[in-house]
Amino acid sequence: MNGVTSPPRVALIGANGHGRSHRRVIAPLHAAGRLRLVALVDVRPVEDDPVAPVPPGVGVFTDHRAMLAATRPEVVVICTPPHTHLTIARDALATGADLLLEKPPVLSLAEHEELTWALAAAGRVAQVGFQSLGSAALTALTDALAAGRLGTVTGISTVAAWQRPDDYYARSPWAGRRSLNGQPVLDGALVNPLAHAVMQCLAIAEALGGATPRPVTIEVERYRVRPIEVEDTAVLRVLFRAGPPVLVAVTLAAEEFVAGEVVVAGTAGQAVLEYPTDQLRLPGDVVTRRVPGRQGLLENLLAHRVDPSRVPLIAPLARTAPFTTLLDALRAAPEPRLLDGDLVTTVGDGGQRIRHLRGVVDVLRRAAERGALPSELAVPWAAASYRAELAG
């Protein structure tokens, strides 16, 4: 024995769309010999990507089960519609693979428990695609909290204001849907594109409490500016068994862009983390600074496979349980309120048309600053909130 081992065999299921970002992560690791890409799977022909061309010898499949049988990968990256995750994950685990599973990992607590059991039974692990958890800026913030630089934390909030054109909701049959063919989909702002904002807040709550936070109550108001089944604008307040509340204020119908700001308020000052760009300002800082360094989720998973005792996973399935708890509670929320007429303006044509909700960023910022819902701020278009008590 010379101690030399072959690089792990890796397959990507869902190679188009967002899957191309995974291909761009895999490509340099394959070129460096740190992994061996053996297969790509997609129901449509695999799109060309000049940054991540398909290496010679890589199998291309339209059926994930055929791929698993033919290539027997050791790591499977799953980047498919959320309502397909559990089935594909079970199939991959049955062949002995570890998983990198896009967020949201599953769509209910029952599915979360089933996947947890399947991982334990197979003796495998799953990393979930909350890549912002690998940010050195987040670590710098949680270190500052542990050092007491903010004093006693009184609240955690986030504001993210993005824009999505009509084409975004035409990208697939499940886009903007609450369910499809009887299966939950929940493709709303809170669960899919702006899920990272929610998860960053939960990670901070985790750091404050030293354990996985346990939500006990949610209050949410959900809105939409187009005929979809889910929210494109939402304000969510989460109360925990212990620790400060979280207020999430997000939209995909913004007049102005806010990348995603997480604000932690304390008795000795506040910290602001722009999570997509790793920009951080702590109490006493004159300017916001970028904190470089992100641990890639796939690289972390590969390192964990080599030395699990010394290299913990950044985003193991268990860490995402509070997120799934919130998602599960949202399933019973009423249909989002449709906002139209003079409240909404449009820009662009065809598939690139964007709908803006007038003044929404101001509403979201006020909500985050006060820890309040739009209905509590006397916003004219606000609807009554939905409240759910959780098992927490």
126 and 81: one domain?
yes
So what's the pLDDT on residue 1? Answer: 38
pLDDT band at 180 (very low <50, low <70, confident <90, very high): confident
Q: What angle do CA 281, 158, 271 make, to 5 degrees?
A: 20
Residue 117, domain member (yes or no)? yes
HSE-CB at 203 with a 13 A cutoff on CA atoms is 27
- Amino acid present at 237: R
Calpha distance 137→268 (Å, rounded): 20
361 and 230: one domain?
yes
**Averaged pLDDT, 113-129:** 98
So what's the pLDDT on residue 2? Answer: 46
284 and 363: one domain?
yes
> At 278, which CATH number?
3.30.360.10
**3 has a pLDDT exceeding 70:** no
Residue 304, domain member (yes or no)? no
Residue 303, domain member (yes or no)? no
Residue 14, domain member (yes or no)? yes
Least confident piece of the model among 101-115, 169-183, 228-242, 289-303: 169-183
**pTM, entire model:** 0.96
- Cβ atoms 267, 152 nearer than 8 A: yes
Residue 35, domain member (yes or no)? yes
Residue 119, domain member (yes or no)? yes
**Averaged pLDDT, 165-169:** 95
99 and 152: one domain?
no
Residue 3, domain member (yes or no)? no
112 and 182: one domain?
no
pLDDT tens by residue, 319-378: 999 999 999 999 999 999 999 999 999 999 999 999 999 999 999 999 999 999 999 999
36 and 151: one domain?
no
| Closest listed residue to residue 92, CA positions, set 161, 14, 144 | 14
**Averaged pLDDT, 225-231:** 96
**136 has a pLDDT exceeding 70:** yes
- In the chain, how many domains are there? 2
Residue 297, domain member (yes or no)? no
**304 has a pLDDT exceeding 60:** yes
So what's the pLDDT on residue 4? Answer: 54
So what's the pLDDT on residue 245? Answer: 98
- Cβ atoms 127, 105 nearer than 8 A: no
So what's the pLDDT on residue 185? Answer: 85
265 and 374: one domain?
yes
Q: Tell which of 81, 98, 131 closes a domain.
A: 131
Scan for tokens 């061309």, then name that residue: 53
Q: Tell which of 100, 131, 162 closes a domain.
A: 131
158 and 104: one domain?
no
Containing structural domain, residue 155: 135-291+317-389
pLDDT band at 57 (very low <50, low <70, confident <90, very high): very high
205 and 285: one domain?
yes
**296 has a pLDDT exceeding 60:** yes
Average pLDDT value over all residues in the chain: 96
64 and 148: one domain?
no
So what's the pLDDT on residue 59? Answer: 97
HSE-CB at 108 with a 13 A cutoff on CA atoms is 12
> At 21, which CATH number?
3.40.50.720
Q: Tell which of 131, 148, 173 closes a domain.
A: 131
So what's the pLDDT on residue 182? Answer: 84
176 and 54: one domain?
no
So what's the pLDDT on residue 392? Answer: 59
So what's the pLDDT on residue 31? Answer: 96
98 and 52: one domain?
yes
